[in-house]
Chains A and B, each alone.
Chain A
Amino acid sequence: MGRRALHLVALSVFLIAPLAVAEDVVKPTNGDGATQVASASGGKFTGGGVPACTECHDQPRILAILKSPHAVKGDPRTPLSHDAACETCHGAGAEHAADDENPISVAFGQSHPIKPQNEVCLSCHQGGERIHWSGSDHEKHDVACAACHQIHAPEDVVFNRDIRPETFVKRDQSQRCFACHPDVRAQTQRMSSHPIREGQVVCSDCHNPHGSTTDHLLKQETLNETCYQCHAEKRGPFLWEHQPARDDCSTCHVPHGSVHKPLLAARGPWLCQSCHMAQFHPSGVYDGSGLAKAAVPSRNLLAKNCTNCHSEVHGSNHPSGVRLTR
C-alpha cells in the first residue's frame, strides 16, 4: 500500500507541479509569424476578418475550423485570433474577395504548391516534434502538412484511433499514412502483426512523421529504443547478450507484419542457421523428413523449432544461460 501511495504522490507532483509556474501569455509566440509568412506573397488584406471570407465560404466543412484549436480568439497564438483571420494562413485576400477568379495566395493540400503552405504551418509549429522536419524524408518528398492534417475540423482525424470493433470501418490515422504507404497497409493484413488493423497501435506510436534523427523517422534515438517503449522486458542489458538482437531488432523482426510468427523475417530453423553453423544440430539439414507424420518428427523443425529449447533469444541473465536455454 505504501508503495502505491508513493507512486500516486510522485505522479501528482510530476503532473500538477508544473501548473504552478504557468503564467499568462501576454505576447504570442510565433502568432505574428504566420501573418508575416502568408502575406509575403504580396497583396492587400480584406480587413473584414472572418466574415469577409465566410460570406462566400460558408460550407460546414469550412466553418468547422471555428470549433478547432486554430480558432480561439482568446489565444493570440491562433491564426483566427488576429484581425487578418483566415488570411493569416491563406494570405492577403482582397483581390480574391473582389473577384473569385483571382486565386487565394496560399492554398493547402497536396495538389497545391507545397513550400508556401508548409512555411505558414512551420511559422508557428517548427519546434517540438518538428525540429528535425527540414531534410527529413517527408520534407524531401514535398509532403504538405495539409496532406495529413485536417485543420478545418473540430478534431484532426490524424490523432484518431478507430479501435475495432467500435468502428467497423476505420477512418483514422493509419488510413492517412496508407494512402502513400500502401505496402505497409498490405503488411498489416498479414497473419502476424502489431494490432494496427485493430486500431490499438497507430503509426505515430513508433514514427515521428515530422522528422527525426533516425532512419525511417523513428521516435526514439534508435530502433531498439523505440521497441523498448512497449517491450521493456527486452531491454536488459543481459549477462549473455544475443548480438543481433542487441544490435537491431529488425535483424529478425518485421514490425509491420509478417507471415512468420512472431513478426519474423523468416522462420526457424533457417533464420537461426543463417548465423549458426556449428557441428551437429545447428548445421543439420531440415526438410520434409522431419514433419509431424514422419518416422522421426524433428524437434528443430516443428512447434517452436529452435526456440523449443533456445527460448531466451533476446538475451539471458541466468548464469547457466550461455546457450540461451535458461
Chain B
Amino acid sequence: MAKLRARCSLPCWIAAVLALGATPAVAEEPPEPAITGNVEAGAYFSSDDDYFFGEYTGLGEDEWNVLGNFLVRGRPAWDSGDTWHFLLRGQNLGLDSRRIEAEGGVQGLFRLHLSWDQIPHLISDDGEMVFQGRGGDLLTLPSNWISGTTTKAFPMLSQDLNQLRLRKDRRDLRAGTDVVLPHGFEFSTNYHYDRQTGRKPIGSVIGNSGGNPRSVIVPEDIDWRTHDGDVALRYASDVAQAEVGYEISRFNDEQPSFSWQNPFSAIGGWDPAAGFPTGFGGRGLAPDNEFHQVKASGGYNLPYDTRIMAHAAFGWMLQDDSFAPYTVNPALVVNTPVPENDAHAKINTKNMGVRITSRPIDRLRATAEWRLDDRDNDTPRDVFIYVPGDSLDQSTLSSDRARMNLPQSYRQNEGRVELGYEVIDRTELSVGYRHRVTDRSWTEADEVKEDIFQAGLRSRPIEQIEFRFDGTWSNRDGGDYFYNAPLAWGFSPQHVATVDLATDFENQPLLRKFTLADRQRKTVDSHLSYMPIENVTLGAQVGFANDDFDDSALGLRQRRALTWGFDASWSPIETVTAYAYYTNESFRSRQSGRSFSNDTDAWNPNRNWRQSDDDDVDTVGAGFEWVAIADRLTLRTDFVYAFAKDSIDVETAAALPRAVPLPTADNRLIDASVSAEVQVVEHVKARVGYMFEHFEADDWAVDGVQPNTINEVLTLGTESPNYDAHVVGFSIEYEF
C-alpha cells in the first residue's frame, strides 16, 4: 500500500473506501463529484403459491414480498482529472433471489469488485414421504411402520406420509482485484465461494438384479461448498498480448453419504436381513475434489494482417475421499475388504493449441488451427468385490460381482483450415476442413476419426440486406468396435477366465454407442436480415442438424433438429421500440433395440423394437417500449407464448407383444408483463408492474404416479406443475 501513488489525493482514497461499502459522506467531498443513483422500495403481491412459478425467483412462497433495489454510481466529471469510480447495486433485496454487487477503484490503477448472489431453486412442494430424520444422514421409518413386498402392501402408508418440500439454495460470493502495472502489465485475482444447501430427490435402491429391486425416492440433503481462486498476469501492447495464470478449485461435500431404512420386506433373491426392519441401504454422495490448472495464452501480430495465437493449460483433477464400506448392513458378510482406503483418483489434463489467421490480401482470409484436448486418467485400477445393493453377502473373486474400475482416458487432436474469399464486394465465400482424431482407453472404440467439411456464404449486397449461410458435412469413422470391452475389462481376471468372450457379452453385440459409432452429420445455419426502411429490421433464420447412424443396427439411428423462425423490430420514432418473433423447433430421434433375456432371444431379429421421439416447440414473443410522455411516462410490455409437445412412438417386431401407444406429453407457457414508469416530481418516479404467468403441463411419467403406484418404487408422488400466477409490483424510486 505504501508504494501506491494515486493520481488524485485524499478524495481518491475516500472513493476507494466507498468501493468497499463505506458511505460517501465519510470525509472531505472530492471536487465536483458525480454521485448519482436511485433507491427503490415497494412491494410485490403474488397471487399463486405454486412452487414451480417461483422456481428461480422465490416468488410464490409468500403472498407479499418486499421490493427493494438500489443503484449508486460515483464518477467525477470526466475532465476533472480525478479517476476514482464506484458502483453499488442491489436487486431483489426482498426475495431469496437477491443480488448485491459493488465495484470501484481508481481507473488506471486498480479495480475491486465484490458480489453476493442468491439463487433459489424451488423443486416441488407437493411431495410426500414416510421417512423421518430428514436433514440428517439417516432416514428411518415411523415406529408403526408395517412392511410389505410391494408399495401396495404398505397398510400404514397413507397414515405415515408427510408433506415434503424440496428446494435448493445457492449462495455465491465473488471478489476480485484488477491492478494496472507499468509497461502494459495487469494483474488480477479472483475468489469465488459457492455454497449450495437444501434437498433434492434421489432414487435409492436395495436389490441385486433387475428382477428384485426395491427403491425409494428420498430427499438427498445437500451442503456443497466450492472455493475457487485464480490469479493472472496479463501483458498487452500493440503487437503482442499474453496471459499466464493459475486456478484452483476445491469442492467439499459436508454430507458425503446417507443411509435409509428399507421399507420393503425381504423378497426372493435377497438375504433375509436385507428386508425390513433390519435392512438398510447406504449410498455415497458427491466426493470432495480438487482441481488445479496453470495456463498461458498469447497472441502476436505479424505483418500482412497476420496473427498467431497460442494457448496451453495443464491441470490436475484430484479426489481421495475415503471409501464407504461395501455395505452398511452389518448382517451381510464381507470377507474381502476394499483394496484401498480411497480411489487415489486423478486425471491430468492438457489443453494446447495454436491458431494462425491472416488476411494476406484484402479479399482473402485464412485460418489454420491445431488443438489438443488430453485427459489422462491416472486413477489406479483394482478389483472390487461389491455387495449388490445392500441385499446379499459378498461374493467371490471369480464371480460376476468382482469388478474392475475403468479409468477412461480421452485424447482429441484436431486440425482445421479455413479460407474465405470476398468474391465481390461484401460477399464472401468460405470453405473449411477439419480432421479430428479421438483416442479413448477402456472403451469399445479406441480411436474415432472424423472429417468435417464446411462451406459458408456471407453477403451484404446492399446496406439493407445481410445474409449468411453456413453448412457442414462430416463423416465419423468409429473404427473397430470392441463390443465386449465392458466384459473383457470390467471384471476381475478370475471372472473373465470363466466366460467365453466369443459368445458371452454384456450389451448386445450389434449395439453401437452413439458417441463412438460411425456417423454422418449435416448441419445448416442460415440467417437473413432485411431493413426495408430505416428503423425496421426483419429477420428470418433456419437451422438444421441431422445425425445418421446408418451403420448402427441397434442403438441410436438418427437424431434431427430443425429450427426456423422470424423476428422483427420496429422503431418508428425515437420513443417507441417494438419487437416480435416466432420460432418453431422440431426434434426427432430414432433408435432401435432388441428385447432379450437369453442367448437365443439375443440373436432373434423378430424381437427388435423401434422407438421414435418427436418434440415440437412453438415460441411466440412480442413487446414494446414507449416513452409516452418525454421524461414523464414510459410503458413497457413483453409477451411470450411457448408450447411444447413430446410424442413417443414404439413399434415391435413379430415375436414381441404389440406396443401400446404412449400419450403425448406437453406443456404450455404464457408469460406477459407490463410495466409503467411515471415521473411524479423531480427525483421521484413511481413504478407499477404486472406479470401474468400461465403454465400447464401433462407428463404421463409423473402425473397420477402416487407414492405407491409403482410396485417396486416408493415415490414422492409429485406431479406436473399447473398454475396461473399474477404478480403486481409497485414501488417508489428516488433518484439522486
User: Could you list which residues of chain A lie within 8 angstroms of chain B, going by C-beta atoms?
Assistant: 7, 11, 14-16, 18-26, 29-30, 33, 66-67, 69, 71-78, 80, 111, 123, 126-128, 131-132, 134-135, 140-142, 154-155, 161, 163-166, 168-170, 180, 182-183, 185-187, 189-191, 195, 198, 200, 213, 221-222, 225, 228-230, 232-241, 243-244, 246-248, 251, 259-260, 266-267, 270, 273-289, 291-293, 296-299, 301-305, 307-312, 316-323, 325-326
Option from B209, B241, B650 in Cβ contact (under 8 Å) with A127:
B241
Q: Is B585's beta carbon under 8 Å from chain A?
A: yes
Interface size on B, residues (CB 8 A): 226
Interface string of B223-239 (1 = CB under 8 A from A): 01011110100111110
Do B4 and A20 have beta carbons less than 8 Å apart? yes
Specify which chain A residues have a CB less than 8 angstroms from the CB of B468 in the assembled complex.
141
Q: Answer whether residue B565 sits at the interface, using C-beta atoms and an 8 A cutoff.
A: yes
Question: Are A259 and B379 interface neighbours, CB within 8 A?
Answer: no
Interface residue? B727 (CB, 8 A): yes
Q: Are A273 and B463 in contact (CB under 8 A)?
A: no
B263 contacts the other chain (CB 8 A): no
Alpha-carbon distance between A154 and B338 when the two chains are bound, in angstroms:
62
Does B689 contact A165, Cβ atoms closer than 8 Å?
Answer: yes
Q: Is the CB of B319 within 8 A of A222?
A: no
B132 interfacial contact with A, CB 8 Å: no
Min CB distance, B608 to chain A, in Å?
10
Q: Which residues of B contact A185 (CB under 8 A)?
A: 581, 583, 619, 621
Asked if B709 is at the interface (CB within 8 A of a chain A CB), the reply is: yes
B712 touches A (CB below 8 Å)? yes
A77, A135, A307: residue with the most chain B Cβ atoms closer than 10 Å: A135
Residue interface mask B148-159, A partner, CB < 8 A = 1 = 000000000000
Contact partners of A16 in chain B: CB under 8 A: 177
The answer for the CA separation of A213 and B350 in the assembled complex, in Å, is: 13
Pair B83/A75 contact, Cβ less than 8 Å: yes
Docked-complex contact B369 and A135, CB < 8 angstroms: yes
Shortest distance from the beta carbon of B226 to any chain A beta carbon, whole Å: 4
Residues from chain B with Cβ under 8 Å of A170 in the complex: 638
Known: A29-B184, A237-B407. Is A275-B514 also a contact (CB below 8 A)? yes
**Nearest Cβ in chain A — how far from B132, in angstroms?**
21
Measured in the bound complex, the distance between the Cα atoms of B645 and A259 in whole Å is 8
Residue of A nearest to B646 (CB): A259
Establish whether residues B338 and A266, one from each chain, have CB atoms under 8 Å apart when the complex forms: no
Q: Are A183 and B563 in contact (CB under 8 A)?
A: yes
The answer to whether B705 touches A292 (Cβ under 8 A) is yes
Residues of A within 8 A of B202 (CB): 311
Determine if B44 is an interface residue (Cβ-Cβ < 8 Å).
Answer: yes
Contacts between chains A and B (CB distance < 8 A), count = 510
B297 within 8 A of A: yes
Question: Which stretch in B137-145, B272-280, B494-502, B589-597 binds the other chain?
Answer: B589-597
B591:A319 contact, CB within 8 angstroms: no
B503 touches A (CB below 8 Å): no
**What residue in chain A is nearest B662 (Cβ atoms)?**
A288
Query: Distance in Å from the Cβ of B187 to the closest Cβ of chain A?
Result: 5
B61 to chain A, nearest CB (A): 13
What are the residues of chain B within 8 A of A247 when measuring CB–CB?
410, 440, 515
Stretch of B282-290, B473-481, B678-686 with 4 or more beta carbons under 8 angstroms from chain A = B282-290
Query: How far is A309 from B212 in the complex, measured between Cα atoms in Å?
Result: 11
Across the two chains, which residue of chain B brings its CB closest to A307? Answer: B203
B703 on interface, CB distance cutoff 8 Å: yes
Q: Is the CB of B458 within 8 A of A142?
A: yes
Question: Are B298 and A318 neighbours in the complex by a CB distance under 8 Å?
Answer: no
With A132-B355, A163-B92, A302-B702 already in contact, the answer to whether A19 and B4 are too (CB < 8 A) is yes
Subset of 19 A-B contacts with CB under 8 Å: A21-B181, A23-B181, A23-B182, A30-B238, A78-B107, A127-B236, A132-B309, A168-B690, A169-B637, A183-B563, A259-B644, A270-B591, A285-B609, A291-B700, A302-B709, A303-B713, A309-B213, A318-B323, A326-B284
Q: Given contacts A166-B69, A246-B408, A259-B667, are A128 and B79 in contact (CB under 8 A)?
A: no
CA separation between A308 and B707, bound complex, in Å?
A: 13
| A20:B3 contact, CB within 8 angstroms | yes
Q: From A198, A241, A285, A322, give the contact of B407 (CB < 8 A).
A: A241
Which residues of B sit under 8 angstroms from A266, Cβ to Cβ? 589, 613
Q: What residues of B have a CB within 8 angstroms of the CB of A273 in the complex? A: 591, 593, 611
Q: Once the chains bind, are A299 and B701 in contact (CB under 8 Å)?
A: no
B727 → A minimal CB distance (Å): 6
Contacts of A237 in B (CB 8 A): 289, 317-319, 343, 345-347, 377, 379, 407
Is there an interface contact between A292 and B410, defined as CB atoms closer than 8 Å?
A: no
Q: Are A165 and B729 in contact (CB under 8 A)?
A: yes
Asked whether, in the complex, the Cβ of A318 is within 8 Å of the Cβ of B119, the reply is no
Given A14-B229, A232-B289; 16 other pairs, CB 8 A cutoff: A25-B108, A80-B78, A135-B355, A169-B673, A200-B119, A213-B353, A233-B251, A235-B317, A239-B345, A239-B384, A240-B405, A275-B514, A277-B593, A288-B659, A307-B203, A320-B388
Q: Say how far A136's CB is from chain B's closest CB, in angstroms.
A: 9
Report yes or no: B238 in contact with A33, Cβ–Cβ below 8 A.
Answer: yes
Contacts of B523 in A (CB 8 A): none
Which residues of chain B in 682-715 are interfacial with respect to chain A, using CB atoms and an 8 Å cutoff?
689-691, 697, 700-705, 709-713, 715
List the A residue with the shortest CB-CB distance to B491: A322
Query: Does B112 reach chain A (CB closer than 8 Å)?
Result: yes
Contacts of B79 in A (CB 8 A): 73
How far apart sit A285 and B191, CA to CA, in the bound complex (Å)? 50
Contacts of A230 in B (CB 8 A): 194
Closest to B718 in A: A303
Residues of B within 8 A of A234 (CB): 286
- B595/A303 in contact, CB under 8 A: no
Contact call A308/B217, Cβ cutoff below 8 A: yes
Q: Name the B residues within 8 Å of A284 (CB-CB).
A: 595
Q: Which residues of A contact B710 (CB under 8 A)?
A: 297-299, 302-303, 308
Which of B78, B189, B702 counts the most A-chain CB atoms under 10 A from its CB?
A: B78
Nearest A residue to B508, CB-CB? A277
Contact check, A126 vs B241: say whether CB atoms are below 8 A apart: yes
Q: What residues of B have a CB within 8 angstroms of the CB of A155 in the complex?
A: 73, 87
Tell whether A15 pairs with B176 under 8 Å between CB atoms, given A74-B7, A198-B97, A287-B659. yes
Find out whether the CB atom of B182 lies under 8 angstroms from the CB atom of A25. Answer: yes
B675 touches A169 (CB 8 A): yes
Given contact pairs A182-B539, A326-B283, A74 touches B107 in the complex (Cβ within 8 A):
yes
